[in-house]
Amino acid sequence: MSIQWFPGHMAKARREVTDSLRLVDTVIEIVDARLPESSRNPMMLEITKHKPTVLVLAKADLADPKVTANYLKHFKNEHVLPVAVDNLRGEGLNLLTKAAHEVTREQFAKMQKKGIRRKAIRAIVVGIPNVGKSSLINRVTGRSVAKTGDKPGVTKQQQWIKVEGSFELLDTPGILWPKFDDPDVARRLAWSGAIKSELLPTEELALAFVDWLKVTYPQSLTARFDCSTDGADAVAILEDIARRRGALRPGGIPDREMAADILLRDFQKGLMGRITLDRPPTAD
């Protein structure tokens, strides 16, 4: 499976990010804590030119906390300082501010020696669509300055956003890479809602998700849909979900397509418990 999806506005966004890097001190890269690697644009390191980066694992309230802790260790290096943030309650925002000061400390010290004094850190905010970038910016500012929505690609153009006493943020449109050669990455992005649903067959996606859940988080299916996973294949489980949710065609036939929509939507809204789709090398 190789998915081609590189709309014109995303190509334009990449050019704009590249041009804007000279205006900022640091990069704040947002990834989805439920898929920290799959939701990270592999071109981003090239685009950001090794600028000091704060890597924000957003939506941490929806992710498996043990796996998140492993990822915080996995990502930390000389260029990247990772933090986990709960978009819903704002927990971890203080760590984001602290990390931004940490990665720019040396740079600001050099500027001060040259007589350049600046109170606010200028940061560019990047990330693929639908990882919680706009909602996180609204949390940081304490007001609705960035548009949010359920569909990928809500932010269409760059905008400067001032945070009193802390940041000057340059928000950017979400940028996806030209194609997804790894079918597992493509599926995980589709499960999370980062890829538009029409790019992959919904029922096929849901069946693959059920198979994955049976192995990794079987309790999430049982708790949310009251269905048993013992000895049942993915088709049988999806049809059970359809019956329990009243997703039936004439004659009482389970509507697997509708059940697939229900399953994926419930996961994307965090209604199936705390689930992380990726696994770092140090995770069990």
pLDDT digits (tens, 9 = 90+) for 39-70: 998 888 788 877 899 999 999 999 999 999 99
> How big is the CA angle at 268 (ends 282 and 43), to the nearest 5 degrees?
55
CA atoms of 107 and 120, how far apart (whole Å): 13
**Tell me, what's the pLDDT at 258?**
97
Q: What is the mean pLDDT of residues 105-110?
A: 87
Q: How many other C-beta atoms are found inside a 10 Å radius of the C-beta of residue 29? A: 24
Residues 125 and 264 in one domain: no
Residues 173 and 227 in one domain: no
Residues 73 and 155 in one domain: yes
CATH of the domain at 171: 3.40.50.300
Tell me: pLDDT of 5 over 70. no
CATH of the domain at 209: 1.10.1580.10
* pTM check: above 0.85: yes
pLDDT digits (tens, 9 = 90+) for 87-98: 888 889 889 989
The answer to whether residue 69 is domain-embedded is yes
Q: How many other C-beta atoms are found inside a 10 Å radius of the C-beta of residue 249? A: 12
Chain mean pLDDT for the chain: 86
Residues 208 and 150 in one domain: no
